[in-house]
């Protein structure tokens, strides 16, 4: 009986070790966290003839103002061009506005934010809703001159 005791103890120890290894959860090895999903690009599908909308041509403004809205339902994207001539000290932000009516508009992205010096640029943006316009927010009542046009395509 004394000869079987070490053999019996070894068998119990092996069984316990097997049970522990079976019931222990296995944590999978993982690398870096997944990246943010890549947004789908707003592309020009070429479905309609591009249209140039001249929203403001060297318009002098001294208060917050919105351009006339244009209908963009047929278009996927728009190339928005702006030119700001400050002339004086005035901070300007141009924000896209979208809506299904010309009176109920929601903010889109800033085409330019807190511009304090003369600037001009062009950016391609996606169109949403039926109407699109641009809101100019100025910080003072000093007159600035803004040109904004948009090639919808």
Q: Tell me the per-residue pLDDT of 51-73, one tens digit each, with 9 for 90 and over.
A: 999 999 999 999 999 999 999 99
Give me the pLDDT at residue 135, please.
Answer: 95
Does 29 have pLDDT greater than 90? no
**Mean pLDDT, all residues of the chain:** 83
Encode pLDDT of 87-133 as tens digits.
888 899 999 999 999 888 999 999 999 888 899 999 999 998 999 99
Is 0.85 surpassed by the pTM of this model? Answer: no
Distance of CA 54 to the CA centre of its chain: 25
Q: What is the mean pLDDT of residues 21-31?
A: 63
Does 36 have pLDDT greater than 60? no
Does 26 have pLDDT greater than 70? no
Band (pLDDT 50/70/90 cuts) for residue 16 is low
Band (pLDDT 50/70/90 cuts) for residue 145 is very high
Give the sheet arrangement for strand 51-61, strand by strand.
Answer: 51-61, 144-152, 77-85, 119-126
Give me the pLDDT at residue 89, please.
Answer: 83
Closest residue by Cα to residue 84 from 46, 12, 139: 139
Tokens linked to 45: 């599908």
Give me the pLDDT at residue 105, please.
Answer: 92
Give me the pLDDT at residue 11, please.
Answer: 72
Does 34 have pLDDT greater than 60? no
Tell me how far apart the alpha carbons of residues 132 and 99 are, in angstroms, rounded to a whole number.
7
Assign domain 52-152 to a CATH class: mainly beta
């Amino acid at each position: 009986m004394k000869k079987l005791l070490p053999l019996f103890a070894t068998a119990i120890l092996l069984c316990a070790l097997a049970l522990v290894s079976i019931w222990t959860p296995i944590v999978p090895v993982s690398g870096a966290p997944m990246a943010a999903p890549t947004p789908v690009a707003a592309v020009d599908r070429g479905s309609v003839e591009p249209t140039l909308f001249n929203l403001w041509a060297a318009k002098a403004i001294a208060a917050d103002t919105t351009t006339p809205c244009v209908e963009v339902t047929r278009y996927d994207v728009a190339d928005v061009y702006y030119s700001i001539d400050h002339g004086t000290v005035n901070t300007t932000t141009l924000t896209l506005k979208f809506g299904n009516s010309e009176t109920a508009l929601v903010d889109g992205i800033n085409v330019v934010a807190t511009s304090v010096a003369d600037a001009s640029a062009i950016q391609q943006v996606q169109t949403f809703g039926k109407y699109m316009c641009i809101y100019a927010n100025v910080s003072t009542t000093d007159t600035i001159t803004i040109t904004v046009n948009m090639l919808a395509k």
